[in-house]
Chains A and B, each alone.
Chain A
Amino acid sequence: MAPVVRITNLDKYFGRLHVLKNISLDVQPREVVCLIGRSGSGKSTLLRCVNFLEEPSDGSIEVDGIQVHSHGRGKEHRDLVHEVRLRTGMVFQEFNLFPHMTVLENVIEGPVTVKGMDRTEAIALAEENLDNVGMLFKKDEYPARLSGGQKQRVAIARALTMQPRVMLFDEPTSALDPELIGEVLNVMKKVAKDGMTMLVVTHEMGFAREVADRVLVMADGEIIEDAKPNNLFNKPKDPRTKALIDRYRTGGG
C-alpha cells in the first residue's frame, strides 16, 4: 500500500542551526504515529514541514501522492503546496480558532471559502463532525465562551471538515488545564478509531502507548528510535529514550 505521508531526506536549517537532519519517514494509511522527544528536538518543526508551515531546506514531502520538493519556486510549487494543505488537517497547541466567527462558522470556513463547497452541504458536514467531537450543542457560540478543551475539540472538527487524508496534531493538549486533557484525548482516540491517519506530536505518554501504532523518538533533529509502543516503552534501545520515558514516569505521567 502506498504511504499517505512520505518524508524523504528532509533537512531544515534556521540560519546556521540544523534542526532536522536528513529525516526520512513513511506513514501508512490508518496508521497513528506519535512523535515524542524533549523540547527543541525538532518534532514540531518536522510536523510543520509536512504542510509547509515551515519551508524545508532540503528533501521532499509527499502527501497522498502529491510530491513537493524543497527547492520548488513559483506558481507550480505554490499549487502543489496548496494541494498538500488540502489533504492535511492541522490541530495547534493554541487552538487558533477564529474569534470573530461562531463555532459553526469556524468549521465551515474552510470548505466554503477554500473548496467552494455549497453552504448547506458544508453545514451538514460540519454539524456531523461537531457532533462527533461532542460540540454540536455549542455551534452558535463564539470561541471566547468555550473552555480550552472545548476549543480544541472544535479545532479538531474544523480540521476534519476539510476531509483530509492525514491529521497533524502539534502538542494538542499542552496548553490545557490537566482536567481538560482527557476530553481532547478521547476525541483523538475516536478519530483514530474511525480510521484517520494521524501524526501526533505529544508529551502524553499514556496516549502514545495506548493509541499509537508506532512511536518515534526525536533528539537533536534526528529520529533516534522508531518502534511499536510496547517495545519502545518496555525495552528502549537508546539511553536518551530511556531517560525521556523515566522522566515522565517519575513525573507521574
Chain B
Amino acid sequence: MKVDSTIAAASKPANSQAELLFEAQQKKQRQFRTGVTATWGGLLLILIYLFSGQNFLGIQTIKLDYEFMQKNVVFIAGGLVETIKISILSISLAITLALLAALGRLSTFPPIYALSTFYVSLIRGTPLYLQIFFFFLALPQLGIVLSGLISGVLALGLNYGAYMSETFRAGLASVGKGQREAAIAIGMTPIQTMRRIVLPQALRFAIPPMGNDFISMTKDSALVAATGFVHEVMWRATRVGRAQFNNLEALIMAAMFYWVMTLILTYVQSRIETRLSKGDR
C-alpha cells in the first residue's frame, strides 16, 4: 500500500513521460480530425457545385428545377413524420425480439434454443421486401387485413430482430463466466445478475452494431412505400417526381433527408458509445 502512494506522488510533477506522450498523441489526433473535417467540407462543396447549373472551365454542371424543388420540399419533408414513426416502432419491436431470441440462444433447454434459431433462420432466409408484401398482401387472403404501416412495422421489426439477435448474443457471450459467479457469490438472484452485471456489459459491446442496424433500418423503411399506403419520405418523393417527371430533383431531396437523419443518428450513436465506454481505461 505504501508502494502505491509513492508511485502516485512520483507521477505528480506535471511533465512526467507518460503525460508528455499523451500530449503528443492528443496533438496528432487533433491534427488528423482537422484534416478530415476540412476534406469533408471540400467534398461537400464539390457536390453542391456539381448541381449548381454553373458553367465552369467548359464543364456544364447539372441544372436542377429549383422551382419544382421549392414547391415540393415541404410535401416530401412531411413524410419524415411517418418515416420516423415506422423506424421507432420497428426498432422497439426488433430490440424486444432480438433480446428474447438472444436469450433463447443461450438457453440449455432444447425447445427454447430451437425456437430461437428457427425464427432467425426463417426470417434471415427470406427477403425483407417479400416479408412486407406477405403481411400486406398475403395475409388478407387468410382474413387478416393489416394497414400498410402495421405491415411495415411487423416486417421490419421481425427482420431486424433476427439480425440484431446475433449482435445481442455475441454481447451476452462476451461477458465472462467469472462475472456471473462473482454476482452469484454476493447473493444476487439470476434476474439481478442479468440486469445489474451481465446486460450493462453486453449492451456496451452491442451498442455500436445496434446503432448500425438502426441506421440501416431507417433507410429500409423506404421499402414500406411499396405498399402505396404509407406516405413516408420515399412514397412522397416518387409520387411528385413521377407526376411531373422531376424524379432527379425529388430523389435528391429525399436522399438529403435520409442522409441528414443518418448523420443525426450517427452522432447520437457516438455519444451513447462514449457514455457506455466508462471503465475501459
Chain A interface residues (CB < 8 Å from chain B): 51, 53, 82, 85-86, 88-90, 92, 94, 96-102, 109-110, 113-115, 134, 137, 142-145, 150, 158-159, 162, 183
Contacts and interface: CB of A to CB of B under 8 A. Distances in A.
Give the interface centre of A113, A115, A159 by most chain B CB atoms within 10 Å.
A113
A162 B279 contact: no
Interface stretch (B53-61, B179-187, B260-268): B179-187
Contacts of A110: 186-188
A225 to B, nearest CB: 28
Give the interface centre of B183, B187, B200 by most chain A CB atoms within 10 Å.
B187
Contact of B184 (A53, A98, A102, A145): A53
B179 A96 contact: yes
B5 interface: yes
B125 interface: no
B201 A53 contact: no
B278 A142 contact: yes
Contacts, number: 77
How many interface residues does chain B have, given as a range?
20 to 34
Interface in B190-228: 192, 196-197, 200-201, 204
B201 A100 contact: yes
B279 A137 contact: no
A204 B160 CA distance: 53
Chain B interface SS verdict (over half): helix
Interface of B: 1, 3-5, 8, 176, 178-179, 181-189, 192, 196-197, 200-201, 204, 278-281
A85 B190 CA distance: 13
A144 B185 contact: no
Which A-B residue pairs are the 6 nearest by beta carbons? A134-B1, A96-B182, A142-B279, A110-B186, A90-B185, A96-B178
B8 A137 contact: yes
Contacts of A101: 279
A183 B1 contact: yes
Contacts of A51: 185
Nearest to A90: B185
Contact of A114 (B4, B186, B200): B186
A99 B181 CA distance: 14
Given A110-B186, A113-B188, A113-B192, A100 B278 contact: yes
Given A51-B185, A92-B181, A114-B188, A145 B281 contact: yes
Given A86-B187, A96-B179, A183-B1, 7 more contacts: A96-B181, A100-B278, A137-B8, A143-B279, A144-B279, A162-B186, A183-B3
B12 to A, nearest CB: 13
Contacts of B192: 113-114
28 contacts: A53-B184, A53-B185, A90-B185, A92-B178, A92-B182, A94-B178, A96-B178, A97-B182, A98-B182, A98-B201, A100-B200, A100-B204, A100-B278, A109-B186, A110-B188, A113-B188, A113-B192, A113-B196, A114-B186, A134-B4, A142-B281, A143-B279, A144-B280, A158-B186, A159-B186, A162-B186, A183-B1, A183-B3
